[in-house]
Amino acid sequence: MAGVKRSVDAAEDRNGKRSKTKGSAEKKSKSAGVKKSSSSKKDVKSSKSDKKKAPKKKVEESESEDEDDFDIDNVSDDGDDLDALDESPAEDVEMNDAEDVDSEEEEKEEEKPKSEKKSEAELAAKSNASRESHAKQKALQLERKAAKPNADTIARSKKLWEQLRRKSHVPLEQRKKLIKELFDIITGRVKDFVFKHDSVRVVQTALKYGNLEQRKMIAQELKGSYKELAQSRYAKFLVGKLIVHGDSETRDLIIPEFYGNVKRLIRHPEGSWILDDIYRSVATKEQKARLLREWYGPEFVLFQDDEDLGADLPKILAAHPEKRSPIMNFLRELINGLVQKKTTGFTMLHDAMLQYFLSTKPGSSEANEFLELLKGDEEGDLVKNLAFTHSGSRLMSLAFAYANAKDRKLLLRFYRDTVKTMAGDLHGHIVLLAAYEVIDDTKLSGKSIFSELLNQNDSEDARNDELVFQVNDLTARIPVLYPFAGDRTKWLLPELDQQILQEVREVRKETSKKEPAVRQQELAKAASPTLLAFIAARAEALLNSTFGCQLISEVLFQAEGDKTEALKAVAAAAKSKSETRDSASVGRTLKSLVQGGRFNPATKSVEKVEPALNFHDLLYEQICDEVMEWATGSNTFVIVALAESDDFEKKSELLKTLKKNKKALEQASASGKDGKGPTASGAKLLLQKL
């Protein structure tokens, strides 16, 4: 039979409620019947669940009321729908059942306090049981510790360590007593302490505060165990402290234990760092050579070289050409293994990679595969790490020299975010200089390097403040000044850098097309606007240091563009501080600028720059009222340069002023010891001019 049809109410009629069907009402009535027949055990609920269900029940009742309301007019006249309703199963809750539900609710309300008390009692019982369980576990742990060997001595030593590690809280005399007691405990039992994560710290503290004899005693007791200690997660730090705090005798005791184990240790996650620290910091030249030779194959582990070729692989291969293939294969596999594991920060690895590259023939498959290895690191960690060691920076400089234009661009891209860090590093800056020397696309190199090196993306004040620090740093100033120095780099570069760059220049003859002078001029042009603006803004700060004065001279002589503002700023800064008249570096800078070029000692003449600076006019305009103070001061040669300048428009006015004060010049010429010194010499030259 057909069911009862309900009219669909509008949203306003049902107040936003969702309309229900008859089926849903039947389901709810069925669920009510199930609740009635449920056991008494399920009826007893906690107060928390009753509170949650109470509002839900109200919502259900209201919904059921809405569902029971229907219009009698909507029922069809034939009576079939009414018959269907009469014949449907009676699932409604009777009145007696409703009374039972009310009584059950009253019973639940009465049982609430009892259930709450019961739950509190259960929680208290659980917490007590938990405390007892923790206490038992702690007691069991203490029993296990006590059952271990040397438990009492380790416990006492740890208490001493707790006091000693707080250095500022322990007086000197008390510390000596604690150290004596600590050495009484560990003497003869050092090996029992060093392989445990907590007790090894005790031995490290003993090393830190012990005297030389006590440290030697610890080193002797650990003899034969250093390879295992280096591979231990905690004991490796003890080996490091022995190397740092020990003497040469202690180091000679430790390092030979690593012979024959280099291949295993360099691939070990813990031992590799200790091995590399020893190789980099404390090993002698002979010890380094022996450790590095083990990278060349098992033969070099078992047999020693009587020819004293060291670790120079090209010399070894020249002496034994028949061994080339196995040595190169063994070395390549070991290098590839470390590169694949992303452990590329080891100095020993960088030395081995340099020896491999020097042993390859340029343009050969070995050399090309090696360059592919450098380019293959997508994150660039390998080439970045290489830039910060001596061998690694030389390797990268040669890689730039031998690579083609496309590969140079790719290698330079890896250093985009580390340019400034490399510029201030003892080894990293040489890679930037090599890039200057070989990259023909100066727009690429200028954009990639100068944007970060010269802080071009920062605000003007921030950029200038940072540049002041850079140009006054012994190393960081080198990449800034190098494009302006040209071939005259002896005063700027250390000898080691000059040797590497000479290597690069020899290779460059075959791999680069652009003329070196043109390349250098284009680089200087790219950096000129930033540095000229910097001098104009910070001339006074630059004149306060020797390095700052060198920057002013080099940039103003070699830069391209409008130099007027920078020259005016230097002239104004020369007058602003009276102490600048007594500075030798300021005097040399001003004299060179007045002369209009650099002095060539070979020809003993001044090589003037084009276009002319005409700095003499700007300077005289500032110091015209102080001419005699400069003429009789320590920087009298600035006035001499003005008097000797042929282009100086106010030269006659200057000489006239000097003639009026001839007596002061005569007195200055007689000053100093026996009439010698800069002031006396300069005054004598001025008197000759008069």
State pLDDT tens for residues 67-85.
444 444 444 444 444 344 3
Place of tokens 């001025």: 686
Q: What is the pLDDT of residue 2?
A: 44
Is residue 49 predicted with pLDDT exceeding 70? no
Of all residues in the chain, the percent with pLDDT exceeding 90 is 49
Q: What is the pLDDT of residue 634?
A: 84
Return the minimum-mean-pLDDT range out of 21-25, 458-462, 485-489, 643-647: 21-25
For residues 102 and 622, the model is more confident at 622
For residues 43 and 472, the model is more confident at 472
**Contact indicator for 305, 293 with CB cutoff of 8 Å:** yes
Residues contacting 420, CB < 8 A, separation 6+: 452, 453, 470, 476
Residues contacting 72, CB < 8 A, separation 6+: none
The model's confidence at residue 65, banded by pLDDT at 50, 70 and 90, is very low
Is residue 184 predicted with pLDDT exceeding 60? yes
pTM recorded for the entire structure: 0.76
Nearest to 239 by CA among 267, 281, 211, 180: 281
Q: What is the pLDDT of residue 600?
A: 85
Name the token pair of 240: 């490091």
Nearest to 379 by CA among 426, 332, 329, 344: 344
Name the token pair of 215: 């440290």
Residues contacting 438, CB < 8 A, separation 6+: 400, 401, 408, 504, 507, 508, 511, 512
Please give the single-letter amino acid code of residue 71. D
Annotate 80-108 with b (16+ C-beta within 10 A) or e (fewer).
ebeeeeeeeeeeeeeeeeeeebeebeeeb
**Contact indicator for 583, 589 with CB cutoff of 8 Å:** no
Q: Tens of pLDDT along 280-330?
A: 999 999 999 999 999 999 988 877 665 566 889 999 999 989 999 999 999
Name the token pair of 197: 């994560």
Q: Where are the domains of the chain?
A: 151-258
| Residue 599, phi then psi, degrees to nearest 5 | -85, 125
DSSP-H helix ranges across 19-94? 22-36, 40-43, 47-68, 80-87
Q: Tens of pLDDT along 5-27?
A: 444 444 444 444 444 444 444 44
Give kind and range of the element (H or E) at residue 607: strand 605-608
**Contact indicator for 440, 515 with CB cutoff of 8 Å:** no
Mean pLDDT over residues 243-270, rounded? Answer: 92
**Contact indicator for 475, 424 with CB cutoff of 8 Å:** yes
Q: What is the pLDDT of residue 187?
A: 87
Q: Tens of pLDDT along 642-689?
A: 988 888 888 889 889 888 888 888 888 887 666 577 788 888 888 888
Cis previous bond, 611, omega within 30:
yes
Q: What is the pLDDT of residue 570?
A: 94
Q: Tens of pLDDT along 374-419?
A: 998 888 899 999 999 999 999 999 999 999 999 999 999 999 999 9
**Contact indicator for 20, 66 with CB cutoff of 8 Å:** yes
Return the minimum-mean-pLDDT range out of 25-39, 120-134, 150-164, 562-576: 25-39
Mean pLDDT over residues 625-640, rounded? Answer: 88
Q: Tens of pLDDT along 536-567?
A: 999 999 999 999 999 999 999 999 999 999 99
Q: What is the pLDDT of residue 145?
A: 61
| Residue 215, phi then psi, degrees to nearest 5 | -65, -40
Question: 35 exposed, middle or buried (CB, 10 Å; 0-12, 13-18, 19+)?
Answer: middle
CA contacts within 13 A on the Cβ side of 517: 0
Nearest to 527 by CA among 483, 473, 476, 492: 483
Q: What is the pLDDT of residue 46?
A: 42
**Contact indicator for 204, 187 with CB cutoff of 8 Å:** no
Q: Tens of pLDDT along 107-138?
A: 555 555 555 556 777 777 777 777 888 887 87
Is residue 36 predicted with pLDDT exceeding 60? no
Q: What is the mean pLDDT of the chain?
A: 82
CA contacts within 13 A on the Cβ side of 544: 10
Taking the C-alpha atoms of residue 237 and residue 458, their distance in angstroms, rounded to an integer, is 42
Taking the C-alpha atoms of residue 394 and residue 108, their distance in angstroms, rounded to an integer, is 87
Give kind and range of the element (H or E) at residue 539: helix 516-542
Enumerate helices (H) and strands (E) in the chain, giving the number of each: 41, 2
Q: Is the dihedral of CA 243, 248, 253, 256 positive or negative?
A: positive
* Residue 178 neighbours by CB distance under 10 Å: 18
Please give the single-letter amino acid code of residue 663. K
Is residue 524 predicted with pLDDT exceeding 60? yes
Taking the C-alpha atoms of residue 612 and residue 614, their distance in angstroms, rounded to an integer, is 6
Return the minimum-mean-pLDDT range out of 2-11, 244-253, 456-465, 545-554: 2-11
Mean pLDDT over residues 502-506, rounded? Answer: 95
